[in-house]
Amino acid sequence: MRYQNLVGQRNRNNAVSCPPLAANGVPFRQAFDEFKTLILHEKLTDFMRKHFLLFAACVAFSAPAIAQQTAKLPRLFLDIPIVHLASPDVTLVANRIGLGLGTAMNFATHWSTARIGGGAVFSMDPQSRDVQETFVTTPYVLMEVGAGQYRTNGNQCSKTKSKAFSAMAKAGVRYAFISEALEPEGEVPDKFDVTVGAELGYFFIRDVFKNTEVFLEGNYHVNAKIISANFGFKMFLNLRADRDR
């Protein structure tokens, strides 16, 4: 009797415990975990679907605003080349006149512009007995800002075969790379100068991308206390033009 009790106790200790089974023979814990995973997957899918629709709706409503902001980006004009007659000092135009060649990048609206550029002015004294001795080359760089009508018209240049104008006041800084004295002044001009002035321009819009402007500008040089003037042509590219129009 005692032996049977010991054997029964040993069998109970060595018995493998089995979890209860579900109806399909899968343990309840495994079935529960699979069910929980399925529920989480469905919730996640539903969450992503709703938020995707919300995102798509936001993009749809934002598209006009994005397009409007894009339309407000600066107009970009690359002036290349700028060719003009130059009078470094209008009070001495008979003794110092020349030809200018330059380029500039303009960041503009229809009513303002900011530009950075450079070039060179080749000038001489036509009254001198030895004209070739008076030739002077003056390379320069400049930065300017202007306010007023700039390369626009009543239609904001929205169509070709129409006229456009510029009429603006401007101010800037100019640095000239020069070390030679100019005749008849006999003095070396200031290399760095502040300028204030005005600019007028006209062109006929033959193409939305490439055009040529006739311009006239005058500048007062604050440090040198002189007035310079330029008259000529600017061949320019409208880098933000819609060429499909």
Whether 35 and 126 map to the same domain: the answer is no
How large a percentage of the chain has pLDDT more than 70? 62
Q: Does residue 109 lie in a domain region? A: yes
Overall average pLDDT of the 122-145 stretch: 92
Whether 45 and 123 map to the same domain: the answer is no
Overall average pLDDT of the 202-210 stretch: 90
Q: How far is CA 233 from CA 104, 190, 208, in A?
A: 13, 27, 18
Whether 165 and 133 map to the same domain: the answer is yes
Q: Is the pLDDT of residue 209 over 70?
A: yes
Q: How confident is the model at residue 2 (pLDDT cuts 50, 70, 90)?
A: very low
In sequence order, the 6+-apart residues with CB closer than 8 A to the CB of 110 are: 75, 149, 150, 151, 152, 156, 157
Whether 211 and 135 map to the same domain: the answer is yes
CATH of residue 146: 2.40.160.20
Of 5-14, 175-184, 197-206, 220-229, minimum mean pLDDT range: 5-14
pLDDT at 17: 47
Residue, of 160 and 245, whose pLDDT is higher: 160
How large a percentage of the chain has pLDDT more than 90? 50
pLDDT at 36: 60
Q: Is the pLDDT of residue 187 over 60?
A: yes
Q: Hey, how many other C-beta atoms are within 10 angstroms of the C-beta on 224?
A: 18
Overall average pLDDT of the 23-51 stretch: 60
Count: domains in the chain = 2
Whether 67 and 130 map to the same domain: the answer is no
Whether 187 and 216 map to the same domain: the answer is yes
pLDDT at 66: 43
pLDDT at 116: 98
Q: How confident is the model at residue 206 (pLDDT cuts 50, 70, 90)?
A: confident
User: What average pLDDT does the structure give for the chain?
Assistant: 79
Q: Does residue 245 lie in a domain region? A: no
Q: Is the pLDDT of residue 3 over 50?
A: no
Residue, of 176 and 7, whose pLDDT is higher: 176
What digits encode the pLDDT tens for the residues 40-97? 666 656 655 555 555 555 445 545 544 444 456 789 999 999 999 999 999 999 999 9
Q: Does residue 13 lie in a domain region? A: no
Whether 86 and 167 map to the same domain: the answer is yes
Whether 95 and 168 map to the same domain: the answer is yes
Whether 138 and 28 map to the same domain: the answer is no
pLDDT at 70: 43
Overall average pLDDT of the 204-226 stretch: 93
Q: Does residue 189 lie in a domain region? A: yes
Whether 147 and 34 map to the same domain: the answer is no
Q: Does residue 171 lie in a domain region? A: yes
Q: Hey, how many other C-beta atoms are within 10 angstroms of the C-beta on 103?
A: 16
Print the domain residue range for 176. Answer: 74-238
